[in-house]
Amino acid sequence: MSQSGQPVEIIGVPLDHGSGRRGVSMGPSAMRIAGLRESLHRAEIPAHDIGDIDIPIPEVRDPGDPSHKYLDVVEAACQLLAQRVEEALAQGRLPLVLGGDHSVAIGTISGVAQHLRTDTSQEPPRIGVLWFDAHADLNTPATSPTGNIHGMPLACMLGKGPESLTGIGFPGAKISSHRVIQIGLRELDPDEKRRINESEITAYTMEDIDRRGLPEVIEEALEKVQEDCDHLHVSFDIDVIDPRWAPGTGTARPGGLTYREAHLAMEMVAETGAVRSFELVEVNPILDEGNRTAEVAVGIIASALGKSLLD
C-alpha cells in the first residue's frame, strides 16, 4: 500500500496544449518506460494503470485566443481527468496523475474538490495543496506574457481564470489560498508576485530554502498545510529540480532543488501518511538526455508514496 494505506490508480494525461513547447505529451509514456510500475511494485505499493486520456495533437487544432491558447482542448482534457480522479477517490484509490503540462492540475484538483464537496457548503472544500514548482502558475489570460495555460492552473483553482476552467466540477474556487503552500519558487512574473503578496498563500522561494535549509522549510510547510485540511494533494513540477539532474523539461532554470533535496522533501511528505492524491508534470523526453528526467520522476513518485532507502 501507499503510505496513506491506499492502492494507487495511475492516470496518464498526455497534454501539451497548455505549454509553449511540444514533447511534454510523451511524459506519461517516458515515466512508464523508466519503470514506474516496477518501482511501485518493489516498494509493495499496489498500482492499477488505467492508461491515458485521449488528447488530440495540437497540429489538428486551432489554438484560438492567444491569451489562453487551446482552451477548448485543455478544458475537455481536464473535464475528463476530473471525472477519472473523482471515480478513483470514490473507489478508495489514490490518484497518481502523470502529465503532460501543468494545466492538468486543473483537472486533478477539480476532481478532488468534486469528490469532497457537500451540497450545503458554499466554501471551497478543505484541500491542502503542496505545490512544488519553479513557477507560481498564478497568471490569468489578462496577465500571462505567453497565453500558455500551464502558467495559470493555480490561479484557476483559486477561482481566477476562464469560466470554462474554473467551472469544472462546480463553479468557482476549488481551493482556498491559505491552504496552498508553494515550494521552490525561483522565477515569478510581476503580477504573480502581487497575487502572492495579496493572498494567504505561503510561498517558499529557493532563497528561503538556501538560507533555512530544506528540512526546516518542509517541516514547517507540512505542519501548516495539515492544520486545516481534509485532503492533502501534492503537485510536483519536475522543473523544481535543478536541470543538472532533470534537464528534460520545457522551462528549466538553474538554481533548483538538488536530487537529494527533492527526494528528502518527498520522503518527509510520505512520512505524514496524509497524501491522498499526487501529480507529476512537465517531463519532456524531447529535451531529455537518455530518459534521465523520467527516471528521476519515477524515483520522486516512489519516495512520495512511501518507498524508503531500506525498501
Q: Looking at 133, 242, 279, 295, which residue is catalytic?
A: 133
Query: In terms of residues, how long is the chain?
Result: 311
SS3 12: strand
- Is 135 an annotated catalytic residue? yes
Q: Is the peptide bond before 100 cis (omega within 30 degrees of 0)?
A: yes
* DSSP code per residue over 215-250: HHHHHHHHHHHTTT-SEEEEEEEGGGB-TTT---ST
Residue tagged active-site, from 75, 192, 239, 295 = 239
Is 137 marked active-site? yes
Of 293, 239, 281, nearest to 107 by C-alpha is 281
Name the catalytic one among 9, 137, 261, 279: 137
| Backbone angle region of 137, left / alpha / beta, with phi > 0 → left and psi within -120 to 50 → alpha | left
Catalytic residue among 9, 52, 75, 102: 102
Q: How far apart are CA 120 and CA 97, in angstroms?
A: 29
Q: Which of 17, 68, 115, 135 is catalytic?
A: 135
- Nearest Cα neighbor of 104 from 172, 42, 53, 38 is 53
Which member of 101, 237, 261, 295 is catalytic?
237
Catalytic residue status for 65: no
| Whether residue 52 lies in the annotated active site | no
- Rounded to 10 deg, the angle between the 259-271 and 292-304 helix axes is 20
From 249, 236, 240, 241, select the one nearest 282 (Cα to Cα).
Answer: 249
Residue corresponding to grid cell 503578496 = 197
239 among known catalytic residues: yes
Out of 68, 150, 231, 263, which one is annotated catalytic?
A: 150
Residue 237 known to be catalytic: yes
Q: Point out the residues that are catalytic.
A: 102, 133, 135, 137, 150, 237, 239, 282
